[in-house]
Structure 1
Amino acid sequence: MEASSEQQYLEDKYPQRPLLPADPRLKALNLRAASIINSNIQPLHMLSLLKHLEEKVGPEESLSFAQLNIEKGLLALEMLLKDFASRYATGDEVYMADVFLAPQIVVSTSRFNINMSKFPTLSRLYESYKILLELEASSPERQPDAVH
């Protein structure tokens, strides 16, 4: 996974808060976690996809499909991060894996009723994310274009 132009912009603009750690092993771990989220979990959070599924198979089957596949992605992340996680996904600093993971847990629990007790490492990480002001500030409801 190559650095995107957005990632490069953020790295250049805010060098004091890199998205990726300098350690090559931890950098690869962050990119892998972001890839799992980006390709396996986040697409199932898209309302347009869910609406399409509901039209094709009905609301119950759509929810069941989304829950099953989100849980598969969360299990992959649990297994990937369990030996590396500290305060955050890959140590004591917030990196790309955390930026991707935190909002996915919020949506997984609130919209899809995913039971996070199945994922103890991710649950512990989420407790650390909850106290981050950046997470609260980035919530969809707090954005200037949010519909209230």
Structure 2
Amino acid sequence: MYLEDKYPHRHPLLPNDILKRAINFQAANIVSSSIQPLQNSSVLNYIGEKVGYDEKLPWAQTVIRKGFTALEKLLKDHTGRYATGDEVFLADVFLAPQLYSAFTRFNIHMDEFPILSRLYATYNDIPAFREALPENQPDAVH
């Protein structure tokens, strides 16, 4: 929100339409509070230590699927080319890395989530999103 206020002349992170704005907040919050923290390395390592190493992946998959099910329901009547229409907004900025992680790191099958799979393919067409992939960072281990 700081960037939104600091640089109002740039492309906005949130749409002007109040419903689309609310959907963006909801989608971003599902990722940032219901999925990402629970599939974070520190949580997975804790589960591995306390429950067993073999339980890490099923835990992450369960958390991701639960969040993705909510996102599919939330976005079903609002998507265009992107999560809430034909412009990239906050929801997309949160969804792009989460989808990448889910489909490549946690072996979530894309066909389980048709809306999110379509968005994932669309995000891969955006150079800035491709450049932000973990393997494209200067400190990436190759």
TM-score computed with the length of structure 1 as normaliser = 0.89
Contact 2:25–2:90 (CA<8 Å) still a contact in 1?
yes
> Are 1:126 and 2:120 an aligned pair?
yes
Q: Corresponding residue for 1:3? A: none
Task: Select the residue among 62, 75, 85 that pairs with 1:81.
Answer: 75
Unpaired segments of 5 or more residues in structure 2? none
Q: Corresponding residue for 1:34? A: 28
Counterparts in 2 of 1:1-148, with a 5 A limit? 7-13=1-7, 15-148=9-142
Contact 1:33–1:77 (CA<8 Å) still a contact in 2?
yes
Offset, 1:9: 2.3
Of 29-38 and 50-59, deviating more is 50-59
Distance in 1, matches of 2:69 and 2:57, equals 18
Q: Corresponding residue for 1:4? A: none
Residue aligned with 1:73, SS = helix
TM-score computed with the length of structure 2 as normaliser = 0.92
Offset, 1:116: 1.7
4+ residue runs over 4 A deviation: none
Distance in 2, matches of 1:16 and 1:56, equals 47
Distance in 1, matches of 2:131 and 2:4, equals 17
Distance in 2, matches of 1:33 and 1:99, equals 10
Contact 1:88–1:125 (CA<8 Å) still a contact in 2?
yes
Identity over aligned pairs, percent: 51
